């Protein structure tokens, strides 16, 4: 016998004993299981009324929706136990349905079927993702589901008010009524939003207090894109007091306003706060740092201001802080502890300043770091190189110095790298080609120079490449990007590059499926052939090049049926689109401006939101063009050769259009009444410089949202329509240079936001504040007025002291307004209000009106009497013109208080007495005209007055002293007046750029000499 056999024989008795014990144990367990199963009754099958309700509910869904329908209801067969159907669960004791989950099945139905409410034992109900075709949720019925603890109606494409019956479900722990959305961002100017409903803000909850008042057990509330504006600032208190157990609060894009209230501090159970994409204001409360369980704080894209509490960054449990796009929010990055759990930090587009601390390397869990605030300064800390797991790094800072650091190549986990709006300069290091995981490389609006590093073409996973707005030089061949097979976004605009197609651009075998291509200001002279291969493109910017002729026919064949987000070919030399007037595609933002295209205006057949045809040679609009403007918000066709009447068909679109600009054309005939009737959408109407005739329609309805009305430079007669008082948002009214016959419109003061009023060159008569037409409580108090131009009319009487005393906005400046008078529209497009005024003796068109610009022009009328002393209280005045009247008496010395004054014209009156010495202290005064009065005495002898020529004082035979040749009889020493070196600054004619948060403001004023202007018009 072998030794191994002997060992087995030796242990055999022991093995048999163990086997016997195991068999006994198994038998005992089996017997026990049998006894247990025998003692538990089998589950009761689904009750017939439950099955009936479910089958009726099944019948309400559209069977033609495809495979999703058959998959979802494959097991739903009549006669089978419904408790075993897919998505259905029963309690087991009574055969009643306690859980119904149809979420994520892509189902469709006309509406929510009432059969649902027969399932009264439901505890969990999930209908998320079902398309209910914008139907309203049933007003009654939900309150029958009294056992419900979880209700998910997200992404259901429902509309109307959230039923108050949901507010009676007192056992609710989870409520989701949200609509999902996401933002596709190409660059700072180009992004768009996608959402799961058919239109924006379909659901509304105007009374949160009633909806949530009884839901005291609620732990999770998600209502993204439910409109709550009707709650005002009460939303915060109502939620805080109604839901003390809340752990998750998600209310993005809910039209919330006001601050985060003090009572919010009691919500100590919160783990997630998502309030992004709202209009919340005030400071971010420091008590958020005391929420011990808080892990996510999402406050981006609001209007918060003040100092962001640094203690929030030091919260031990927080993983995500996102405060991007709160331009008024200041702060700095604190010293970070190793105990932090922060994974995601986003502070872009805030007013954060200071240096980036080296202690940021203590955030070992950090995955995403967005420091895109333009106030950051100093050097980038090299300690960032130790964050090996960082997959997103975005940095801005106009005061950042140096170049892209070499250690950046150590961050090999990066998928997103962005340096934008920064002070970094120099060449991009070739080592950037080592970041092989990069999906997005964004180096824009900095000072990078040199040639584009060829190593970028080694980043084969790259999907987005943004290199625009730098100082890159050299020639770039578009075909070279064929190596980047995954590239979908490419922006090379606004450098010093010469971009060409490259070799074999027409026959290249494979090219990335680029859908966003921006090549603005790239010295392109021919239409790029590479576009033949981009049959999935959705955004194309070829603006500011030298492309001539027509768009090739093959381009329209390639684009046929596509949905373009952006097509911008403005500022080129195109003379034709190479297609008939109906273009075979949808173009959300279509810009053809500043070309030389002739003929009829082209229209995208499938619709458009923004159409800009300005500054071309278009002569007509196509027949039935309004048929294709059903979705259009902005229509601009100024400075063309359009003639004839404004087509009445425009009336079919006026209820959706927000901006209509047909200025500087040859349009004639009357203004269609619809353009000034139902103005519930139209914000800007500009018909200036045409040949329109007739009277203005006086049928404006309540609900008018008009903000700017410019009808200047036409042949309009009659009176200003009194129904204009319905337009409570009106800021700008220019009806100058017409044939209006009316009295001084004190009633216009009922427009509480009016800032610009131009009535010049008409046939107005009467006095300012004439009691005979100040009826109905008109006070003539223009509290917001900044530009008042009444020149060249037939006004008469005296200038009332009281009227000037009521011009409050000319006395004190508001800090709560934007710098430029403009409206913002889709795709970031702005419409800047313009006005033609006489300033410093010249007629000029102000193409960007600053809200700080303050002018009064009462010239060329028949006013008499003295100049009101109260004008001296209008200390913000830049220009005052009262020339060519019959004013008498002395020049008020109070005008010396107008220390912002740049232009003063009191010529061609009958003013007497001496020139007040106080005027010599006006250090900004660069234009002075006191000619042709009866002034006497010595011209003030000061540095300021020494800059004025003889022409400022002509026709005053009693004046003497420099600059006039006539010497005074009693010479005396020069009058010492204060002098500051700031004297030569011309505030209004200053061209400036204020950089902050990526926003550039520039004011450009075009001076047109009067005689030249008359020749043009």
pLDDT (0 to 100) of residue 11: 40
pLDDT at 109 over 60: yes
pLDDT at 594 over 80: yes
Residue 957 · residue 935 · CB < 8 Å? no
CA distance 908 to 931: 6
- Secondary structure element (H or E) that encloses residue 905, with its range: strand 903-905
Residue 440 bridge partners (DSSP) = 416, 464
**Each residue's pLDDT tens digit, 328-378:** 999 999 999 999 999 999 999 999 999 999 999 999 999 999 998 888 888
**What's the pTM value of the predicted model, to 2 decimals?**
0.81
Residue entry with tokens 């995500």? 320
- CB contact set of 272 (below 8 Å; sequence gap of 6+): 247, 248, 249, 250, 294, 295, 296, 298
- Name the E strands within 74-233: 88-90, 97-101, 124-126, 150-152, 160-161, 174-176, 181-185, 191-195, 203-204, 220-222
pLDDT at 440 over 50: yes
**Each residue's pLDDT tens digit, 797-818:** 999 999 999 999 899 876 655 5
Domain segments of the chain as ranges: 402-503+515-522
- CB contact set of 51 (below 8 Å; sequence gap of 6+): 78, 82
Q: How many CB atoms lie within 10 A of CB 257?
A: 18
CA distance 161 to 169: 17
pLDDT at 19 over 90: no
Nearest C-alpha neighbor of 161 from the set 174, 146, 142, 144: 142
Q: Is 32 helix (H, G, I), strand (E, B) or coil?
A: helix
Structure tokens at 23: 């068999």
- Name the E strands within 435-579: 440-444, 447-451, 464-466, 471-477, 489-491, 496-500, 516-518, 539-541, 548-550, 563-568, 573-576
Residue 847 pLDDT class (50, 70, 90 cuts):
low
Whether residue 851 is preceded by a cis peptide bond, meaning omega within 30 degrees of 0, is no
pLDDT (0 to 100) of residue 627: 82
CA distance 352 to 304: 13
Q: Cα 702 to the chain's mean position, in Å?
A: 27
Residues of the chain with pLDDT > 90, as a percent, come to 69
**Each residue's pLDDT tens digit, 722-760:** 999 999 999 999 999 999 999 999 999 999 999 999 999
Residue 234 carries which DSSP code? G
3-17, 272-286, 965-979: segment of lowest average pLDDT: 3-17
Residue entry with tokens 């009659």? 718
Structure tokens at 38: 């025998």
Mean pLDDT of 66-90: 88
Mean pLDDT of 859-875: 96
Second-level CATH architecture of 402-503+515-522: Alpha-Beta Horseshoe (3.80)
Residues of the chain with pLDDT > 70, as a percent, come to 86
**Each residue's pLDDT tens digit, 236-294:** 999 999 999 999 999 999 999 999 999 999 999 999 999 999 999 999 999 999 999 99
CA distance 185 to 489: 10
Structure tokens at 373: 């605030």
Q: Cα 278 to the chain's mean position, in Å?
A: 12
Q: Is 406 helix (H, G, I), strand (E, B) or coil?
A: helix
Residue 118 · residue 140 · CB < 8 Å? no
Residue 653 · residue 632 · CB < 8 Å? yes
- CB contact set of 551 (below 8 Å; sequence gap of 6+): 527, 569, 574, 576, 577, 578, 579
Residue 887 pLDDT class (50, 70, 90 cuts):
very high
Mean pLDDT of 469-490: 94
pLDDT at 683 over 70: yes
Residue 43 pLDDT class (50, 70, 90 cuts):
confident
Mean pLDDT of 606-634: 88
pLDDT (0 to 100) of residue 125: 98
Residue 183 · residue 193 · CB < 8 Å? yes
pLDDT at 864 over 70: yes
229-243, 299-313, 428-442, 765-779: segment of lowest average pLDDT: 765-779
The length of the chain is 1017
Residue 78 pLDDT class (50, 70, 90 cuts):
very high
Q: Is 823 helix (H, G, I), strand (E, B) or coil?
A: strand
Q: Is 416 helix (H, G, I), strand (E, B) or coil?
A: strand
Mean pLDDT of 1-27: 40
Q: Is 969 helix (H, G, I), strand (E, B) or coil?
A: coil
- By DSSP bridging, strand 181-185 and strand 191-195 are antiparallel
- By DSSP bridging, strand 1005-1008 and strand 842-846 are antiparallel
CA distance 178 to 952: 68
pLDDT (0 to 100) of residue 506: 62
Identify which has the larger pLDDT, 436 or 656: 436
pLDDT (0 to 100) of residue 502: 79
Q: How many degrees, rounded to 5, is the angle at CA 25 between CA 21 and CA 28? A: 140
CA distance 9 to 21: 20
Identify which has the larger pLDDT, 557 or 821: 557
Q: How many CB atoms lie within 10 A of CB 805?
A: 16
Q: How many CB atoms lie within 10 A of CB 284?
A: 24
pLDDT (0 to 100) of residue 774: 54
CA distance 508 to 503: 9
Nearest C-alpha neighbor of 814 from the set 846, 782, 848, 784: 784
- Secondary structure element (H or E) that encloses residue 692, with its range: strand 691-695
Residue 852 pLDDT class (50, 70, 90 cuts):
confident
714-718, 731-735, 779-783: segment of lowest average pLDDT: 779-783
Whether residue 963 is preceded by a cis peptide bond, meaning omega within 30 degrees of 0, is yes
- Secondary structure element (H or E) that encloses residue 35, with its range: helix 3-39
27-36, 138-147, 475-484: segment of lowest average pLDDT: 27-36
Mean pLDDT of 495-522: 85
**Which ranges in 365-406 belong to alpha helices (H)?**
none
Side by side, which strands form the sheet with 643-645? 643-645, 666-669, 691-695, 715-717
pLDDT (0 to 100) of residue 507: 62
Q: Is 857 helix (H, G, I), strand (E, B) or coil?
A: strand
Identify which has the larger pLDDT, 825 or 911: 911
Tell me what the pLDDT averaged over the chain comes to: 86
CA distance 806 to 716: 30
**Each residue's pLDDT tens digit, 638-674:** 999 999 998 877 877 767 888 999 999 999 999 988 8
Q: How many degrees, rounded to 5, is the angle at CA 368 between CA 223 and CA 428? A: 135
């Amino acid at each position: 016998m072998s030794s191994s056999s002997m060992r087995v024989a030796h242990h055999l008795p022991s093995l048999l004993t163990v086997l016997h014990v195991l068999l006994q144990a198994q038998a005992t367990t089996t017997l026990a299981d049998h006894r247990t199963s025998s003692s538990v009754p089998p589950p009761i099958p689904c009750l017939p009324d439950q099955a009936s309700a479910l089958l009726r509910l099944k019948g309400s869904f559209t069977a033609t929706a495809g495979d999703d329908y058959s998959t979802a209801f494959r097991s739903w067969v009549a006669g089978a136990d419904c408790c075993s159907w897919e998505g259905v669960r029963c309690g087991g004791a009574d055969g009643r349905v306690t859980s119904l989950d149809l979420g994520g099945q892509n189902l469709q139905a006309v509406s929510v079927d009432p059969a649902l409410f027969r399932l009264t034992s439901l505890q969990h109900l999930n209908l998320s993702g079902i398309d209910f075709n914008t139907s309203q949720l049933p007003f009654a019925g939900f309150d029958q589901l009294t056992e419900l603890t979880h209700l998910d109606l997200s992404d259901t494409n429902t509309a109307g008010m959230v039923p108050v019956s949901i507010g009676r479900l007192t056992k609710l722990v989870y409520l989701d009524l949200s609509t999902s959305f996401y933002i596709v961002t190409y660059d700072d100017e180009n992004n768009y939003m996608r959402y799961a409903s058919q239109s924006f803000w379909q659901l509304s909850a105007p009374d949160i207090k009633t909806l949530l008042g009884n839901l005291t057990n609620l732990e999770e509330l998600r209502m993204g894109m439910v409109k709550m504006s009707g709650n005002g600032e009460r939303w915060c208190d109502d939620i805080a007091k109604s839901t003390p157990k809340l752990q998750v609060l998600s209310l993005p894009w809910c039209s919330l306003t006001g601050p985060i209230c003090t009572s919010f501090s009691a919500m100590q159970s919160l783990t997630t706060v998502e309030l992004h994409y709202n209009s919340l204001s005030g400071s971010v409360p420091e008590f958020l740092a005391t929420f011990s369980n808080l892990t996510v704080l999402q406050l981006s894209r609001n209007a918060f201001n003040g100092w962001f509490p640094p203690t929030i960054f030091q919260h031990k449990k927080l993983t995500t802080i996102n405060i991007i796009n709160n331009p008024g929010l200041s702060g700095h990055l604190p010293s970070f502890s190793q105990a932090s759990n922060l994974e995601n930090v986003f502070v872009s587009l805030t007013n954060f300043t200071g240096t980036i601390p080296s202690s940021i390397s203590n955030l070992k869990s950090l995955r995403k770091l967005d420091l895109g605030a333009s106030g950051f300064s100093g050097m980038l800390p090299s300690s960032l190189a130790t964050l090996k797991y960082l997959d997103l790094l975005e940095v801005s800072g106009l005061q950042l110095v140096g170049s892209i650091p070499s250690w950046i190549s150590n961050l090999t986990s990066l998928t997103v790298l962005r340096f934008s709006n920064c002070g970094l300069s120099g060449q991009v290091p070739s080592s950037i080609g080592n970041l092989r995981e990069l999906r997005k490389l964004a180096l824009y609006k900095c000072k990078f120079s040199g040639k584009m590093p060829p190593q970028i073409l080694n980043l084969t996973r790259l999907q987005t490449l943004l290199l625009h707005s730098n100082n890159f030089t050299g020639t770039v061949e578009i075909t070279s990007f064929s190596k980047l097979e995954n590239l979908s976004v490419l922006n090379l605009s606004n450098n010093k590059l010469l971009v060409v197609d490259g070799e074999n651009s027409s026959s290249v075998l494979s090219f990335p499926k680029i859908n966003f291509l921006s090549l603005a200001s790239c010295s392109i002279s021919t239409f790029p052939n590479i576009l033949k291969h981009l049959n999935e493109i959705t955004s194309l910017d070829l603006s500011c090049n030298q492309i001539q002729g027509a768009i090739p026919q093959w381009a329209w064949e390639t684009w046929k049926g596509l949905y373009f987000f952006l097509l911008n070919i403005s500022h080129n030399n195109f003379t034709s689109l190479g297609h008939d007037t109906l273009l075979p595609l949808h173009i959300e933002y279509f810009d053809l401006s500043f070309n030389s295209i002739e003929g009829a205006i082209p229209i995208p057949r499938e619709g458009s939101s923004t159409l800009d045809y300005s500054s071309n040679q278009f002569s007509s609009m196509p027949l039935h063009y309004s048929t294709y403007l059903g979705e259009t918000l902005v229509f601009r066709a100024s400075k063309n050769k359009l003639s004839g009447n404004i087509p009445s068909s425009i009336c079919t679109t006026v209820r959706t259009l927000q901006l209509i600009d047909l200025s500087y054309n040859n349009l004639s005939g009357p203004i269609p009444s619809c353009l000034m009737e139902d103005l519930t959408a139209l914000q800007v109407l500009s018909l200036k410089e045409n040949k329109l005739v007739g009277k203005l329609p006086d049928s404006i309805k309540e609900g008018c949202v008009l903000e700017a009305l410019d009808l200047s430079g036409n042949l309009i007669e009659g009176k200003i329509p009194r129904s204009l008082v319905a337009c409570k948002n009106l800021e700008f009214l220019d009806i100058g240079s017409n044939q209006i016959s009316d009295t001084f419109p004190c009633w216009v003061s009922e427009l509480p936001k009016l800032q610009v009023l131009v009535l010049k060159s008409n046939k107005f008569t009467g006095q300012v504040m004439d009691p005979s037409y100040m009826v109905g409580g008109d006070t003539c108090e223009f509290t917001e007025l900044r530009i008042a131009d009444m020149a060249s009319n037939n006004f008469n009487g005296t200038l009332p002291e009281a009227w000037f005393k009521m011009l409050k906005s000319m006395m004190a400046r508001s800090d709560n307004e934007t710098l430029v008078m403009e409206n913002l529209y889709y795709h970031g497009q702005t419409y800047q209000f313009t006005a033609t005024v006489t300033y410093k003796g010249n007629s000029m068109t102000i193409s960007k009106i600053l809200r700080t610009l303050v002018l009064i022009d009462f010239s060329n009328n028949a006013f008499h009497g003295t100049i009101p002393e109260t004008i001296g209280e209008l200390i913000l005045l830049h220009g005052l013109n009262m020339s060519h009247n019959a004013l008498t008496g002395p020049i008020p010395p109070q005008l010396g208080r107008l220390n912002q004054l740049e232009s003063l014209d009191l010529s061609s009156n009958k003013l007497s007495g001496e020139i007040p010495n106080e005027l010599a202290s006006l250090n900004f005064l660069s234009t002075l005209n006191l000619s042709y009065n009866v002034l006497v005495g010595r011209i003030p002898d000061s540095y300021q007055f020494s800059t004025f020529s003889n022409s400022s004082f002509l026709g005053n035979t009693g004046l003497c002293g420099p600059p006039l040749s006539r010497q005074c009889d009693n010479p005396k020493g020069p009058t010492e007046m204060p002098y500051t070196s700031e004297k030569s600054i011309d505030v209004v004619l200053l061209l400036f750029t204020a950089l902050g948060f990526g926003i550039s403001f520039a004011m450009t004023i075009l001076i047109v000499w009067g005689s030249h202007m008359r020749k043009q018009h």
